Amino acid sequence: MKILITGASRGIGRATALALARDGHQVIALARTREALTSLAGEAEGPHPVRTLPMDLQQPDENALHTALAELGGLDILINNAGRLINRPFLELTDADWQAQWDVNVLAVVRLLRLVYPFLAESPSAHVLNVSSMGGFQGSAKFPGLAAYSTTKGALSMLTECLAEEWAEQGIAVNALALGAVQTEMLAEAFPGVKAPLTSEEMAEFFAFFAIRGQQFFNGKVLPVSSSTP
């Protein structure tokens, strides 16, 4: 499979890129930090080298992205893993905070989906996997300080359902995984001192499996992946 994963410089994104490469897939790892991507490529094991694409998705380079995908030979799977979390009480959140959350967690995904759509439409087994959060999952426990983050993740979940319907005729499956507690830097920012039951590497193994096989069983689903509540 030919796979593009965003937010690949750390945490679950990095571990998933390594797991997919180890399983023999062709991976483009996208993130803003060139040095972290270089380290990732050097650590990767598998029959295909991990290709890296340093890019800020708030200002995506369309030419660079299309060139990378053309060199890859197409695109079967897009994993929208990049995200940002601002932990601040609602009354302290500024308009700039809300805009920053919206830009990274929603609009950046929208921009990327528009850019890669022609490649996905050519794939016989296209799958878009959006990484949402239990914070944006309706009816789940909510926590102070995460209003902006959870709101944007809720929007990403709704986008998942809408696109699955809109792109069904093109054969593009769209799903989202709403994550609970995983031991990442982002979790540490949201819940300082909390010890999660799952590591990034453990969650990455599930991500890799679901990215490759999930569209055979699901489409338009927002699936909670949580063994505990922080």
Q: Distance between CA atoms of 131 and 5, rounded to whole angstroms?
A: 11
Radius of gyration of the chain (CA): 17
117 catalytic per annotation: no
Residues in the chain: 230
Say if residues 35 and 58 touch (Cβ distance below 8 Å).
no
Q: Distance between CA atoms of 131 and 156, rounded to whole angstroms?
A: 8
| Exposure of 48 in the CB half-sphere (CA atoms within 13 A) | 19
Give the chain's end-to-end CA distance (angstroms, integer).
34
Q: Of the residues 117, 119, 137, 149, which is catalytic?
A: 149
Q: Which residues are catalytic?
A: 149
